[in-house]
Amino acid sequence: MPDPSSQNTNEELNTAKQVNLTNVGALNREQLTPNAAAHPQGHDVPGHDHAPAANTKPDAHAGHDHGAEDDDDHDHGAGDGSPYLWPGVSLALLLSGIALNYFDVTWFAGYVRLLWYGVAFLLVGWKVMKAAVLSVPSGNIFNEFLLMSLATLGAFAIGEYPEGVAVMLFYTVGELFQDAAVNRAKRSIRALLEIQATEVTIVRNGSNLVLAPEQVQIGDLMEVKPGEKVALDGTLQTPAASFNTAALTGESAPQTKQAGETVLAGMINLETLARVQVTAAFQDTQLSKILSMVQDAVGRKAKTQQFITRFAKTYTPIVVALAALLVLVPYFVVENYVFRDWLYRALVFLVISCPCALVVSIPLGYFGGIGAASRAGILFKGSNFLDVMRELDTVVMDKTGTLTQGVFAVQQVQPAAGADVGQLLRLVGALETKSTHPIAKAVVTHVGAAATGVAVENVEEIAGHGLRGRVDGRDVLAGNTKLLRKFDVAYPAEVDQVVDSIVVGAVDGQYAGYLTVADAPKPDAAQAVRELKSDGITKLVMLSGDKDSIVQRVAQELGISEAHGGLLPEDKARYVQQYKAEGRKLAFVGDGVNDAPVVALADVGIAMGGLGSDATIETADVVIQTDHPSKIATARRIARATHSVVWQNIWLAFGVKAVVLALGAGGLATMWEAVFADVGVALLAILNAVRIQRIKF
């Protein structure tokens, strides 16, 4: 069975995360599985390798699905029903056969018993044996499929039918779990593609045409209605418009663009009809680059070979050769050589050498660690990431929604000298009720009931500046400092030095004070930084699309020594690539769609599960379900404990198996010892793995 703790499982998830814009259903994987070997002609099944050669363009048809495009859950098992049907039937036959044996039912003997277990075996084992045969032409002869086939057929040859069936059944169930993970990843990756607009309105010769983004030419005039996504990069032609830029920057504050400024695909027009002149083709837009970065970054992820496969390359040929020698050599050196006796010893030797106990011992430890992490609100998408988490020396984090709460709130109210703070809040808050801007909503929420029941009239929204209106019969301005300069309202010079987003107020032409609006750090953000530093993380970095001044302030407040602001997704990716080029083992923690490429590029991508976007959560390797950054240090503690238990299990399996193999070769071990070397060690590994569940993290 391919080790569920190994890269095989995670390889499926990683490659499933790759985005092929022309065919999301196509998956490229380098690991051979029975499903792949059993369906060698291009079906989209786990393990079928359609990977393109180096430096060649991927084939859009590689690995294409011959079934319906939306059928991500098509069966890889026998027949057209549920993939769990035949393993379920096999399990029922196995358990009922064991019961019939136990109660010594007279008719359950001879050929009836063989046929009973034979059916149970073939229901789950035929694909494994077929995979062993189909792997021969590629030269991959000595793999776990061969050893699994020889060992189970050997068990049948010496009459231990239940053992042979149980081995194959366990293997098949593991395969089904892996297939389920791949299908889930394939479905969810579509969430990332849905960010792209599927049609765009183009103004040509005075009339509107609705086209696919791929059909639009550079220089076309694009019309974007309020609430619509911008389909292509361009320059704004209308005087001003506000856009939600979260898809690109991850920041919750909308941006107001003036005529001539750049507008990027993926932004959402918020309020007024906007016209944008296209400056980039569909494949060259910022959003398309994000999608390609997800694909490319996953491709650059290190692919460590699964332990059991590496082990089998040496272990399997040695065991098979020793079993053959055990039958042949005694013929030349032993008097009264009896072929049947030495064949029996060789088959017992093969059964003992079956790697099932070893295969069980590894995933059970990881499953225990994953279970402990789940109870702590941490989801590991693959056991491999527990190992990488333990090896980290660098953690790079986004700001908004990761270390901060991702919600704007008033942080400070500073009235002008001699002004009344209550009046400032009431007048500015009442005027801001006429705006839908998130900063305005934060002010209204802070002011509360004081802003209700106040007469507000003649409200004028000045794009990129703020609001002007009559409140309780007084002229009130509320916005940024550009608004006050526009109406020649003098204000203190220190107001321009405020780092946070600011709402400045003026009443009857006189400066009245300001409110700062910011995204506050999460309660455990500083604790997370302290714990990571004390836990061996030598480099902590904050990368954000927010203003650099705000990023530096938050970094200083939390104790992060290196921080960079004003970044687009490719800027974050460039920093992460630079750190990895320095040889660092790196995790990136983020929550926005813009973080998806960097999450995929990191050795371990970590997403905030509550505030995080679907695309980032599905691209990530680890999800912090509670949104607490301090859980990163908890995940490292769980990873270390898991590593310890897994290696205890590995050495236990190796040790017992080596002893019993030697006894089997000498004819001192029977099938009872063989069963203990397999099932007994597996049971001890289970008990050891349970310990992880009881550790307090």
Any idea which residues carry the catalytic annotation?
398
Helix (H), strand (E), coil (C) string for 324-360: HHHHHHHHHHCCCCCHHHHHHHHHHHHHHHCCHHHHH
Q: Which residues contact 70 (CB under 8 A, 6 or more apart)?
A: none
Q: How far apart are CA 141 and CA 313, in angstroms?
A: 9
Question: Counting runs of H as helices and runs of E as strands, what totals does the chain give?
Answer: 23, 22
CA distances from 343 to 157, 199, 522, 674 (A): 10, 70, 67, 15
419-436 residues labelled b (16+ CB within 10 A) or e (exposed): beeebbbbbbbbbbbbbe
User: DSSP 3-state assignment of 590?
Assistant: strand
650: tokens are 């590995």
Contact 320, 297 (CB under 8 A): no
Q: Where are the alpha helices (DSSP H) in 194-299?
A: 246-249, 286-299
Query: What is the spatial distance between Cα 14 and Cα 23, in angstroms, rounded to a whole number?
Result: 16
Nearest to 413 by CA among 504, 479, 474: 504
Distance CA 154, CA 161 (A): 9
Query: Distance from first CA to last CA of the chain, Å, rounded?
Result: 31
Residue that has been written with the tokens 């198996």 in this structure: 657
d(CA 261, CA 238): 10
Name residue 539's beta-bridge partners: 394
Helix 384-391 and helix 356-375, axial crossing angle in degrees, nearest 10: 70
Closest residue by Cα to residue 148 from 270, 3, 294, 14 = 3
Please name the amino acid found at residue 294. V
Q: Which two tokens stand for residue 200?
A: 């765009």
On whether the CB atoms of residues 386 and 646 are closer than 8 A, the answer is no
Cα separation, 117 vs 313, whole angstroms: 30
Q: What contacts 24+ positions apart, CB below 8 Å, involve 479-483?
A: 479/503, 479/504, 480/504
Half-sphere exposure of 127 (CA within 13 A, CB side): 25
Contact 561, 394 (CB under 8 A): no
- Give the whole-angstrom CA distance, residue 256 versus residue 569: 20
Cα distances (Å, whole numbers) of residue 365 to 7, 174, 182: 15, 15, 22
DSSP per residue, 387-425: HHHHH--EEEE-STTTTEEEEEEEEEEEEPTT--HHHHH
Walk across the sheet containing 378-380 and list its strands: 378-380, 622-624, 604-608, 586-590, 394-397, 539-543, 562-564
Check: CB of residue 346 under 8 Å from CB of residue 324.
Answer: yes
